[in-house]
Amino acid sequence: MGRPQAVGGIFLLVGCFIVLLAGTMSVLTILAGRNLARRKGYTFCFVMACISCLSVPLGTALGVFTIVVLMRPSVKQMFGAMPAAAAS
């Protein structure tokens, strides 16, 4: 037979990891939202939009729409990710 304390410890570690991962994702998503509002950190916002696609179904919808909007030349210009002459 196995040791019940070891199994409980494994469940505790896995639970703590999941809580830490969810908290980290929450903070990063909030930072991405603030960056979108300030029109800074284009690459960070794009990466977070891609990662949010993993959260089905709402995250997928929001991530896809964010990626579509971030790909527009006018939005790239607002972020400063693209020179004004190249956006025309």
Per-residue pLDDT band for 3 (boundaries 50, 70, 90) equals confident
In a domain, 6, yes or no: no
Asked whether residue 11 is assigned to any structural domain, the reply reads: no
Does 87 have pLDDT greater than 70?
Answer: no
Q: Is the pLDDT of residue 76 over 60?
A: yes
What residue numbers bound the domain in which 49 lies? 28-87
For residues 65 and 50, the answer to whether their CB atoms sit within 8 Å is no
Domain count, the chain: 1
Domain-embedded: residue 41: yes
The gap between the terminal CA atoms of the chain, to the nearest Å, is: 71
**How far apart, in Å, are the Cα atoms of 55 and each of 26, 29, 49, 60, 74?**
12, 12, 11, 6, 28
Residue percentage of the chain with pLDDT more than 70: 89
For residue 2, being part of any structural domain is answered with no
56 vs 67: CA distance, rounded Å: 16
- Domain assignment present for 32: yes
Helix residue ranges, H only, the chain: 4-38, 42-52, 58-70, 73-79, 84-87
> What average pLDDT is seen over the chain?
91
